[in-house]
Amino acid sequence: MKKIVNAAHIYMIVGLVSGLYYREITKLNDFTGDSQLGLVHTHLLALGMLFFLIVLALEKLFTLTAEKLFNPFFWTYNAGLALTVIVMTVRGTRTVLGHETSEIAAHLAGGGHIFLTVGLVLFFITLGKRVRETPAPIRSESLAA
């Protein structure tokens, strides 16, 4: 459970720093257009922090970490999100600075999204198995009857 909390916390910190970076680099360069840099903050907070806070709640209910696919999900998903965000940051920064971006960056970002997808598939397999294996809680109404 600790690594889930740590992941959410790290994504929160990096997400907030990326928002500050976006604001400052665009201001310093008088940039007013669109770039991928503006999406990094949201990706980190939504797909990182919020997602892992939801995983934490589900861990508490279903003990997801007991499933053998949890670690492959965790590391695949994190690798995909990290790769996606790094490429978005590089491409966005290059756009703000007035440089062209290479086609390889688009392919790397696509690879990051593939890792994210595989991670999500592993997550839902893990969740499905744990939901089926976890007994339903006893309701207090049934005890009173």
Residue ranges covered by each domain of the chain: 2-132
Please list the alpha-helical segments (H only) found in the chain: 2-28, 37-43, 51-62, 70-96, 103-133, 140-144
pLDDT (0 to 100) of residue 140 = 66
pLDDT of 103 reads 80
Taking residues 58-86, report their average pLDDT.
96
Averaged pLDDT, 79-92: 95
pLDDT band at 145 (very low <50, low <70, confident <90, very high): low
Confidence of residue 106 (pLDDT cuts 50, 70, 90): confident
pLDDT at 39 over 60: yes
